[in-house]
Structure 1
Amino acid sequence: MAKLYFYYASMNAGKSAHLLQADFNYRERGMRTMLWTAALDSRSGGRVKSRIGLESGAHLFTPETDLWAAVMAEHAAAPLACVLVDEAQFLMPQQVWRLARLADEAAIPVLCYGLRTDFRGELFPGSAVLLGIADALVELKAVCHCGRKATMNLRVDEKGRAVSDGAQTEIGGNDRYVALCRRHFSAALAGA
Structure 2
Amino acid sequence: MAQLYFYYSAMNAGKSTALLQSAYNYQERGMQAAIFTAAFDDRFGLGKVSSRIGLSMDALLFDEELDFVERCQQLRETLGRLDCVLIDEAQFLSKAQVRQLTDVVDQLDIPVLAFGLRTDFIGETFAGSQALLAWADKLIELKTICHCGRKANFVVRLDADGNAARAGSQVEIGGNDRYVSMCRLHFKELVW
TM-score, with structure 2 as normaliser: 0.97
User: Where in structure 2 are the equivalents of 1:71-150 lying within 5 Å?
Assistant: 71-77=72-78, 78-150=80-152
CA contact (8 A) 1:154 1:180 kept: yes
2:28 equivalent in structure 1: 28
C-alpha displacement of 1:159: 2.1
* C-alpha contact 1:67 1:98 (8 A) present in aligned 2: yes
Question: Could you tell me how far apart the structure 1 residues matched to 2:167 and 2:111 are?
Answer: 37
- The answer as to 2:3 corresponding to 1:3 is yes
Separation of aligned partners in 2, 1:18 and 1:158? 31
**How many Å separate the matches in 1 of 2:76 and 2:43?**
28
CA apart distance, 1:48: 0.5
What root-mean-square deviation, in Å, do the aligned CA atoms of Structure 1 and Structure 2 show? 0.8
* 1:33 counterpart letter in structure 2: A
- CA–CA separation in structure 2 for the residues paired with 1:24 and 1:118: 29
Q: TM-score, normalized by length of structure 1?
A: 0.97
Report which stretch shifted further, 52-61 or 74-83.
74-83
| 2:37 aligned residue | 37
Q: Assess if the C-alpha contact under 8 Å between 1:31 and 1:80 holds in 2.
A: yes
- Report the residue type matching 1:169 in the other structure: V
Moved over 4 A (4+): none
Per the alignment, residue 58 of structure 1 pairs with 59
Instruction: Provide Cα deviations, 1:13-67, integer angstroms capped at 9, x if missing partner.
Output: 0000000000101110110110000012122311101011000000000001111
For 2:68, the equivalent position in structure 1 comes to 67
The 3-state SS of whatever aligns with 1:149 is coil
CA distance in 2, matches of 1:97, 1:62: 15
Give the Cα–Cα distance (whole angstroms) in 1 for the partners of residues 55 and 171 of structure 2.
24
The size of the alignment, in residue pairs, is 190
Q: By how many angstroms is 1:153 displaced?
A: 0.4
Structure 2 Cα separation of the partners of residues 40 and 115 of structure 1: 16
Q: Percent identity?
A: 54
Equivalent position of 2:15 in the other structure: 15
Q: Which position in structure 2 is the counterpart of 1:179?
A: 181
- The answer (yes or no) to whether the contact 1:158–1:175 under 8 Å persists in 2 is no
Q: In the aligned structure 1, how far is the partner of 2:40 from the partner of 2:63?
A: 7
- Paired with 1:87 and 1:160, the residues of 2 have a C-alpha distance of 24
Give, as a single letter, the amino acid of the residue that structure 1 aligns with 2:56: E
Shift of 1:160: 1.3
In the TM superposition, residue 129 of structure 1 has moved relative to its aligned partner by 0.2
> Following TM superposition, by how much is the alpha carbon of 1:142 offset from its aligned partner in structure 2, in angstroms?
0.8
